[in-house]
Amino acid sequence: MSQRVTQSDIARHLAIGQKTVSRALGAPGYIAPDTRERVLAAAGELGYRRHSSAAAMRTGCFRNVILLQGKNTAASTLPQGVLHGICDRLAEDDIALTVARYDDEALATDGFLPRALREVSADGLLIKYDINVPAALSEHLERHHLPAVWINSKHESNAVYPDDFGAGQAATQWLLAQGHRHIAYLDAGYAHNPVFHYSRDDRLAGYRAAMHTAGLATREHLTISRSDASEVAEHVARAIEHDRPTALLTYGGGEAAMAVRACALRNWVVGQDVAILSVGSERVFAGLSVTSMVCSDELLGHRSADLLIRRLHSEGASQPSEALPFQLVPGRSASVR
């Protein structure tokens, strides 16, 4: 078995000091760029691998963060774009990512402590819990003082989340600017979920605020049962038929799909008889692109990781939360008049 290459071997190979090699490999901001490039090239040529545990003992820094999420996918979803954004931002600072998943019941059990908190093995935490956050998790974080950032969960500090109130308000204002005055709001899950994501309240509140400012009455459909798809479509069709709005703002893509099906049942032309605008990801239903308000998943992940890095650079000091804006993505379901 060949002997492991050390920093001293690199120093001898380049005829420079071992401290210079150490700085080039571990603290690039304190070394000349050309020197660092020479050291990195030599390290690759000789097959050097940095001993992260030894470096952590010397510096107290692991250059690793943990992404903590629950196993209940309905309460702790992790879109691929969010993960990509996290990884891209961490890579900019040469920080590794470890993903840990726990049962909600385990986190709530007396005496149970996640390894991320039980052992000093990471510099901070990224937490992806959308709803039903175990109370014990927040208590553990406060007790163990590990810097953490919440992703897509609304907190006064140390959180990054989409500005769902602003999205509901901006979407309604856009429809108003197109000349619509009879604008209805559709959220099929609002009244059927005892615990739901903050975005359901915030998007509805944004719609209400815009309609109130315009001096117009709201038309809210929040009690639609999630049963058979054809029954749901018929229910939505009857609701639209009763109100006859010229535009329909939906909480998300699922509701937009319901609205498109409902219009098909009544032979209404989407985009002409009824405009549909959805808050959430871009969707296409039956060949129809839905006009949407979208917040980038990659941006959410990137900014969350960036906020955690700022916490680490400030010795764990709390940071103000960030609400990320949505952008209008045009589609054929609601066109500019």
Which residues touch 66 (CB under 8 Å, ≥6 apart)?
Answer: 97, 98, 99, 100, 116, 121, 122, 124, 125, 126
Per-residue pLDDT, averaged over 322-335, amounts to 94
Which residues touch 332 (CB under 8 Å, ≥6 apart)?
Answer: 270, 271, 288, 289, 291
320 and 235 in one domain?
no
Among 65-69, 178-182, 190-194, 247-251, name the one with the lowest average pLDDT.
190-194
pLDDT for 24-52, tens place per residue? 876 655 678 888 889 888 888 888 776 55
% of the chain beyond a pLDDT of 90: 47
115 or 131, greater pLDDT: 131
What's the CA gap between 325 and 217, in Å, rounded?
Answer: 26
Task: Look at residue 335 and tell me if it is in a domain.
Answer: no
146 and 172 in one domain?
no
CATH number of the CATH domain containing 18 = 1.10.260.40
Task: Look at residue 2 and tell me if it is in a domain.
Answer: no
207 and 152 in one domain?
no
Which residues touch 193 (CB under 8 Å, ≥6 apart)?
Answer: 200
275 and 176 in one domain?
yes
Kindly report the three-state secondary structure assignment for every residue of 28-84: HHHCCHHHHHHHHHHHHHHCCCCCHHHHHHHHCCCCEEEEEEECCCCCCCCCHHHHH
CB 91 within 8 A of CB 113: no
Task: Look at residue 333 and tell me if it is in a domain.
Answer: no
262 and 177 in one domain?
yes
145 and 256 in one domain?
no
| Structural domain harbouring 171 | 164-294
Q: Phi and psi of 159, rounded to 5°?
A: -145, 150
What's the CA gap between 247 and 178, in Å, rounded?
Answer: 10
CB 304 within 8 A of CB 158: no
Per-residue pLDDT, averaged over 199-213, amounts to 96
What's the CA gap between 7 and 22, in Å, rounded?
Answer: 7
153 and 302 in one domain?
yes
Task: Look at residue 231 and tell me if it is in a domain.
Answer: yes
Task: Look at residue 330 and tell me if it is in a domain.
Answer: no
Check residue 297 and give its pLDDT: 96
CATH number of the CATH domain containing 248 = 3.40.50.2300
Task: Look at residue 260 and tell me if it is in a domain.
Answer: yes
Confidence of residue 54 (pLDDT cuts 50, 70, 90): low
86 and 46 in one domain?
no
310 and 235 in one domain?
no
289 and 169 in one domain?
yes
Check residue 62 and give its pLDDT: 66
For residue 211, pLDDT over 60 is answered with yes
Task: Look at residue 329 and tell me if it is in a domain.
Answer: no
124 or 144, greater pLDDT: 124
pTM over 0.85: no
Task: Look at residue 58 and tell me if it is in a domain.
Answer: no
Which residues touch 110 (CB under 8 Å, ≥6 apart)?
Answer: none
How many whole angstroms from its chain centre is CA 304? Answer: 8
The number of domains in the chain is: 3
280 and 182 in one domain?
yes
> In whole numbers, what is the pLDDT of the chain averaged over residues?
85
124 and 42 in one domain?
no
CB 141 within 8 A of CB 318: no
Query: Which pair of structure tokens corresponds to residue 239?
Result: 């609701």
